[in-house]
Amino acid sequence: MRPQIMGVLNVTPDSFSDGGEFAHQEAAIDHAVKLVAAGADLIDVGGETTKPGAARVPAQDEQRRVLPIVRELVGRGIRVSIDTMNASTALAAAEAGASLINDVSGGLADAGMARVAIETDLDFVVMHWRGHSAGMDANTDYADVVREVRDALEMRAAELIITGVNPDRLIVDPGIGFAKTADQSWQLVTHLRELGSIGTRVLVGASRKRFLSMLLPEGAPIKDRDRSTAVVSALAAEAGAWGVRVHDVRGTRAALDFWASLQSSDPA
Ligand code: PMM
């Protein structure tokens, strides 16, 4: 089966228009609707930038940004994932109808997150994480990045299951670009299949990340990474991933539909 496509909707002050709060929200909803029309299965709403070096955002500010959007999208029948490290935001989004919690810290940033995952029994994405964005570029020492990320995710999943999280709800994510050099991100992308032995579903978030610029001319615009993102989406499908998180849904949808038709066609 084709992987699920999670369309990225970052609702941060630097995204969308600067025409005031309402115009900003309208533009965000408009963008989400376009992502669904382009083939997204769910929309990943986030109100805190996790780019390398980024500072934290207070949970109240995050909630002011994301909750009206979650409510509106759910009201329109769109499946929503909430991209947050804050248990209070995850809970409020769940109450507003979100169907998946996407925590880049895998429940490590906020000790209350596991409880929210247990109580809501929503799908729960647990990403490989080595600490907050402010210092993560200095935290890339691995002897064997593929084995260490795999083992850390397996360990984290086991801890969460012992705490009471439903194993069927867990989805692990290697955290491409999070405390990983470009070379380490490449290694993870080419060994995604090894995450399958953890026994949970796997999500891959490679979209527009820095490592994809390695094959592009110096200074190429970010959007030029969309074609290689679509290739990585097809690689993820081939490796058995449950889902991919992408900005350019159209490109990934075309790649995945093509991949799926190759799967179903009879070999000559
Ligand atoms: N990457 C970003 C944000 N959220 N969530 C998951 N599960 N996996 C990721 O790789 C991931 C994420 C950062 O990307 P962006 O700033 O381009 O949205």
What is the band of 17 on the pLDDT scale with cuts at 50, 70, 90?
A: low
Whole-number Å distance, alpha carbon 102 to ligand 1 midpoint, is 9
Residue range 195-238, pLDDT digits in tens? 999 999 999 999 999 999 988 999 999 999 999 999 999 999 99
Phi, psi of 4 (to 5 degrees): -70, 140
Q: Is there an atom of ligand 1 within 6 Å of 120 CB?
A: no
What is the band of 19 on the pLDDT scale with cuts at 50, 70, 90?
A: low
Q: From the alpha carbon of 177, which atom of ligand 1 is closest?
A: 10
Q: Is there an atom of ligand 1 within 6 Å of 229 CB?
A: no
Nearest to 103, CA basis, from 120, 136, 126, 70: 126
Nearest to 126, CA basis, from 170, 92, 165: 170
Residue range 79-107, pLDDT digits in tens? 999 999 999 999 999 999 999 999 999 99
Tokens for 139, please give them.
């935290």
Residues 127 and 178: beta-carbon distance below 8 Å = yes
Catalytic residue among 209, 225, 250, 253: 209
Looking at residue 204, its pLDDT comes to 98
Tokens for 200, please give them.
């949970």
Looking at residue 134, its pLDDT comes to 83
How far apart are the C-alpha atoms of 31 and 27, rounded to whole Å? 6
Looking at residue 201, its pLDDT comes to 98
Whole-number Å distance, alpha carbon 108 to ligand 1 midpoint, is 16
> Among 16, 44, 83, which is best to mutate for testing ligand 1, by the most ligand atoms less than 8 A from CB?
83
Q: Is 209 a catalytic residue?
A: yes
Tokens for 12, please give them.
């941060």
Q: Is there an atom of ligand 1 within 6 Å of 93 CB?
A: no
Nearest to 207, CA basis, from 251, 167, 264: 251
Q: Is there an atom of ligand 1 within 6 Å of 125 CB?
A: yes
Written as one string, the DSSP assignment of 65-108 is HHHHHHHHHHHTT--EEEE-S-HHHHHHHHHTT--EEEETTTT-
How far apart are the C-alpha atoms of 207 and 244, rounded to whole Å? 9
Tokens for 191, please give them.
């060994």
Q: What is the mean pLDDT of residues 148-161?
A: 98
Q: From the alpha carbon of 176, which atom of ligand 1 is closest?
A: 10
Q: Is there an atom of ligand 1 within 6 Å of 245 CB?
A: yes
